[in-house]
Amino acid sequence: SSPLLSSPLLSSPLLLPSPPLPSPSLSSPLLSSPLLLSSSSPPPLLSSPLSSSPLLSPPLLSLPLPSPPLSSPLLSSPLLSSGPRTQTGKTAAGQTGKAVKAVKSGNTVTSTRYGKTGNAWSVVVKNRVPRAATSRAERIWPGGVIPYIIGGNFTGSQRAMFKQAMRHWEKLTCVTFIEKTEEESYIVFTYRPCGCCSYVGRRGNGPQAISIGKNCDKFGIVVHELGHVIGFWHEHTRPDRDDHVTIIRDNIQPGQEYNFLKMEPGEVNSLGEAYDFDSIMHYARNTFSRGMFLDTILPSRDENGIRPAIGQRTRLSKGDITQARKLYRCPACGETLQESTGNFSSPGYPNGYPSYTHCVWRVSVTPGEKIVLNFTTMDLYKSSLCWYDYIEVRDGYWRKAPLLGRFCGDQGPEGLVSSESRMWIEFRSSSNWVGKGFTAVYEAICGGEILRDQGQIQSPNYPDDYRPSKECVWRITVAEGYNVGLSFQAFEIERHDSCSYDYLEVRDGPAESSPLIGRFCGNDKPEDVRSTSHTLWMKFVSDGTVNKAGFAANFFKEEDECSKPDNGGCEQRCVNTLGSFKCACDPGYELALDKKSCEAACGGLLSKLNGTISSPGWPKEYPPNKNCVWQVVAPTQYRISMQFEPFELEGNEVCKYDFVEVRSGLSSDSKLHGKYCGTEVPQVITSQYNNMRIEFKSDNTVAKKGFKGHFFSDKDECSKDNGGCQHDCINTVGSYVCQCRHGFILHENKHDCKEAECKHKVHSPSGTLNSPNWPDKYPSRKECTWDINTTPGHRVRLVRYTHTWIQNTHTPGHRVRLVRYTHTWTQSETGTHTPGYRVRLVRYTHTWTQSETGEIHTHLDTEVRLVRYTHTCIQRQTGEIHTHLDTETDW
């Protein structure tokens, strides 16, 4: 059957086929928006509140998965699949694809997909009976336990934030997140084109993705996505939503209207909980709005006439907590304790506990710590085998963990110690006998002996600040014949030059006297550590002052797989890494899909004089996670030019995601000519040497058409003996030319230069003047003139010049010379030759002569204004004004 994808941020609905599954019925209190499932129980849908790009159709994981419907509030376009999912939709970068429209009529859903040509066709799916996601037992995580894996592409701070979000759910509900070990079904924190999206509820049969894409790594957003994993839909799609909010359809972006459809009463079961404006699963007022200040969802006014706020992404609301506890049938009493120390007691203590009571306390401290539990008082009904009233303590996170003991009567056990960082305490009463009950205290202790092949160690209270005055010592022992590998995921310890205050010390062996590997502090993650034996010793120390987030590190048994006779199974090269190994290929090859054999790849060494390179898959979209390096080598004395024609890469101001780098040289640190992305075609790039490096990288999100480039090599005759030119040698394609400096002309032999007559007539509106042989010394006995002719009504201004002036005897350091100027003067004693104009003479200390050529001698800070003069200029002359030292003469 083909369920309708329900999502507040997809640009259109989604239809996907799914395999038939059994279909038991189960109601759910946590679905804030509907999951449409047929009677054959397809997998749950994907839901996302913040994705800026669409959920692309390839599976969310590289593993083979069924094709569940996807629900996402921020996907910019829909997904339609009939069989294997194929990429459709419009990505964040504007990639054009297909839109999907789904219309429900009774038990039939009609889907219409529009191609680029505008043609449309319909698919009708009959006999569809939708139900809420967690109405089915297989959608509930057994025991509320959700195994997880965090992908390796996330930073230490991101990992810490994911764990904080999981601990937030654990603290307020009875859901438990554990690192995956042998579990079949689990979630994977990953990074997919959908941005922020997740399956709703437990999909089963393997991994399911929770994608935390670009700009989605915020605490509230991750809490929201985990809500989908647990079983929540979006609040505004509840059947009763019209009693609480108004959908303003005119303000909704075109193509996003379906995200605001409400579900049928039989599709959502909120378990009697009231509509929750404050839910972390509710959309904001302007989600998918045509404008920032236009509402798409308008909450109704309360009894005080106030519209409630909606769309918070800060914490779980009271309604969220209540629904989650109902959905997973959390005990009425008990709680999750996450502090390093704490206490708890039976209900009503010391006045007696009620009969038929069931309480569960879950103690969860930092990985790498252990829990010590002591019962300070105990007064329970005593029976054989503690059959009626009892306390059970288990060494782990749930009721199936190893039993540490079952206790009743008035004699509590000695201190109980967990083997890891979690402990389960369950209390049940079934008799009418009244006893006081019990009280208990616990404390987290750090350090200890660790006899495992893999695990995690964290500083106390991580990812929150570690406690003051702590000292923790761990001794890690793995199987004989292996080494211990230690890889840090996050590291933030008080900085000091010699790490004297807070520090982590690591030693190669079983004791404090073993060889020191390093003492670490500050914010820089230490390099991976490998011991020389099967033991490793660690000590963490904090003083009583500054406290930081601490550290998180994974340990595991380590071996050199590449030393085996089969070269680790690699066809060409085997590279040993900490905790694993990887195969690599020689230049010009890349790993095949089996990750062991090699095949011809993009990039390589090119020694031709000219040729063409292109991005992988050209002219189709390039694949994700590609790294191609072309090394172009030409003969000595040649230069290489690269000219790109089509050019279309994922754009970013700093070319952070997909880009092309061009360098002069063959190494990755050679001179960089430029880093290019987007759609603007780079200018022709010419190398400084006889080799060039072109590197192309793509990330795992948006893909574009790529690029195609032509390179050609040209001999640089100027690189040897200046091409035989006396002055300047200019290289050209296929040849070269010699040029002479100012004041010289090229000799008939086209290489030498000889002095030229230094007279210049200039008619251009702007230009540059140079003394002969500039920037070298000008020759002696030279007289140069520049005759600059401008349009009447304009004047010549000399700016940004460099010169050494000869001091004038009239005014040292300042001279203005007027030579053969161009103007027509009228005979007037009032200084006016055209009505409305007058002549103004400023900064002068001289009397005009009757010659055609005159000088104006000026000095600083002197201004003389002549409003009546007795000179007559009737001849039209041409000339020039020479100024220096930022002195300007106005006429």
Q: Which residues contact 233 (CB under 8 A, 6 or more apart)?
A: 6, 31, 32, 33, 34, 35, 47, 71, 132, 133, 200, 268, 281
DSSP output for 832-844: -SSTT------S-
Residue numbers belonging to the annotated binding site: 224, 228, 234
How many CB atoms are closer than 10 A to CB 777? 9
Q: Catalytic residue at 225?
A: yes
| Residue pointed to by tokens 């059957």 | 1
Question: How far apart, in whole angstroms, are the C-alpha atoms of residue 241 and residue 299?
Answer: 10
State both tokens at 67: 């094709």
* Among candidate residues 693, 692, 698, the one with its CA nearest the CA of residue 714: 692
Question: How far apart, in whole angstroms, are the C-alpha atoms of residue 865 and residue 868?
Answer: 9
- 599 vs 331, 529, 603, 666, CA distance in Å? 58, 33, 12, 23
State both tokens at 740: 């002479």
Q: How far is CA 382 from the centre of its chain?
A: 59
The strand pair at 627-633 and 638-648 is best described as unpaired
Q: Dihedral of CA 166/171/173/175: which sign?
A: positive
Q: Dihedral of CA 568/569/570/572: which sign?
A: positive
Question: How far apart, in whole angstroms, are the C-alpha atoms of residue 41 and residue 137?
Answer: 11
444 DSSP β-pair partners: 371
The strand pair at 145-150 and 685-686 is best described as unpaired
Catalytic, out of 138, 170, 225, 235:
225
Cβ atoms of 640 and 692 closer than 8 Å: yes
Residue numbers belonging to the annotated binding site for Zn(2+): 224, 228, 234
Q: Which residues contact 149 (CB under 8 A, 6 or more apart)?
A: 179, 180, 186, 187, 188, 189, 207
Question: How far apart, in whole angstroms, are the C-alpha atoms of residue 554 and residue 556?
Answer: 7
End-to-end CA, the chain: 91
* Among candidate residues 130, 137, 131, the one with its CA nearest the CA of residue 269: 131
Greatest CA separation for the chain = 136
Task: Give the DSSP H or E segment for 327.
Answer: helix 318-327
The 3-state secondary structure of 201-265 reads CCCCCCEEEEEECCCCCCHHHHHHHHHHHHCCECHHHCCCHHHCEEECHHHECCCCHHHHCCCCH
Question: How far apart, in whole angstroms, are the C-alpha atoms of residue 819 and residue 799?
Answer: 18
Catalogue the active-site residues: 225
